[in-house]
Chain A
Amino acid sequence: MEIKGQEYQVTYDQAASTVTFQGELALMGMGEYPPIADLLDQTLEDASSQKPATLTLDLRELKFLNSSGINVISKFVIKVRRAGGVKMTIKGSDSIPWQAKSLVNLKRLLPSMVVDLG
Chain B
Amino acid sequence: MNKNRLTLELSDQTLEKLEAYCRQSGLSEAAVIQAYLMTLGEPQSVSEQDEIIQRLEREKTDLEILLDNTMAHSDAITAQLQAAKVAAEAANQAKSVFLARMSHELRTPLNAILGFSQLLGKAEALSPPQQEQLTIINRSGEHLLNLINDILEMSKIEAGKITLNLETVDLRALLHDLHALFNLKAEAKGLQLIFDQAPDILQFVEIDSGKLRQALINLLGNAIKFTSEGCVTLRVRMGSQELEVEGRENWVEDRENSARGPLPTTLYPLPSTPTLQFEVEDTGPGIATTELETLFVAFEQTAVGRNTHQGTGLGLAISQKVIQMMGGEIIVSSQVGKGTCFRFYIPVRRSSIAIPASVLPQRKAIGLAPGQPDYRILVVDDHPDNRQLLSTLLTPIGFLVQEASNGKEAVALWQSWQPHLIWMDLRMPVMDGYEAVREIRSLETLLPKIPTNGLTKIIALTASAFKEERKIILASGFDDYLAKPFQEASIWEILVRSLNVEFLYEQQNEDKGEMMRGIDIAPLSITADALDEMSARWLSELQQAASQLKGKRVLQLIEQMPASQATLAKYLRELADSYQFDKIIKATTL
Contacts and interface: CB of A to CB of B under 8 A. Distances in A.
Interface of A: 64-67, 70-71, 74-75, 78, 96-98, 101-102, 105-106, 108-109
Contact of A98 (B65, B70, B76): B76
B86 interface: no
A67 B73 contact: yes
B442 interface: no
B76 A97 contact: yes
25 contacts: A65-B77, A66-B77, A67-B70, A67-B74, A67-B77, A70-B70, A70-B73, A71-B70, A74-B66, A74-B69, A78-B62, A78-B66, A96-B80, A97-B76, A97-B80, A98-B77, A102-B69, A102-B76, A105-B68, A105-B69, A105-B73, A108-B65, A109-B62, A109-B65, A109-B66
Nearest to B55: A82
B66 A102 contact: no
Contacts of A66: 77
A106 to B, nearest CB: 7
Central interface residue in B70, B76, B79, by most chain A CB within 10 Å: B76
Contacts of B79: 97
Contacts of A70: 69-70, 73
A96 B73 CA distance: 13
A108 B80 CA distance: 23
A101 B69 CA distance: 9
Given A67-B74, A98-B73, A102-B73, A75 B80 contact: no
Given A67-B70, A70-B70, A71-B70, A101 B76 contact: yes
A71 B66 contact: yes
Interface string B77-105: 10110010000000000000000000000
Contacts of A78: 62, 66
Nearest to A68: B70
Interface of B: 62, 65-66, 68-70, 72-74, 76-77, 79-80, 83
Nearest to A26: B77
Nearest to A108: B65
A98 B80 contact: yes
Closest 9 A/B residue pairs (Cβ): A98-B76, A102-B73, A70-B73, A97-B80, A105-B69, A101-B76, A108-B65, A67-B74, A98-B77
Contacts of B77: 64-67, 98
The A interface is mostly helix, strand or loop, or mixed, namely helix
A33 to B, nearest CB: 13
A52 B445 CA distance: 90
Contacts of A101: 72-73, 76
A108 B61 CA distance: 10
A71 B70 CA distance: 7
Contacts of A108: 65, 68-69
Given A97-B83, A108-B65, A74 B76 contact: no
B290 to A, nearest CB: 29
B73 A64 contact: no
B55 to A, nearest CB: 10
Given A65-B77, A71-B66, A109-B66, A102 B72 contact: yes
A101 B68 CA distance: 12
Contacts of B70: 67, 70-71, 74
Given A67-B74, A78-B62, 5 more contacts: A66-B77, A70-B73, A98-B77, A101-B73, A102-B76
A13 to B, nearest CB: 26
Contacts of A105: 65, 68-69, 72-73
Nearest to B62: A78
B542 to A, nearest CB: 82
Contacts of A71: 66, 70
A106 B77 CA distance: 16
A102 B79 CA distance: 13
Contacts of A96: 80
Contacts of A67: 70, 73-74, 77
A92 to B, nearest CB: 12
A66 B62 CA distance: 20
Nearest to B65: A108
Contacts of A98: 73, 76-77, 80
Contacts of A75: 66
A50 B440 CA distance: 86
A108 B58 CA distance: 12
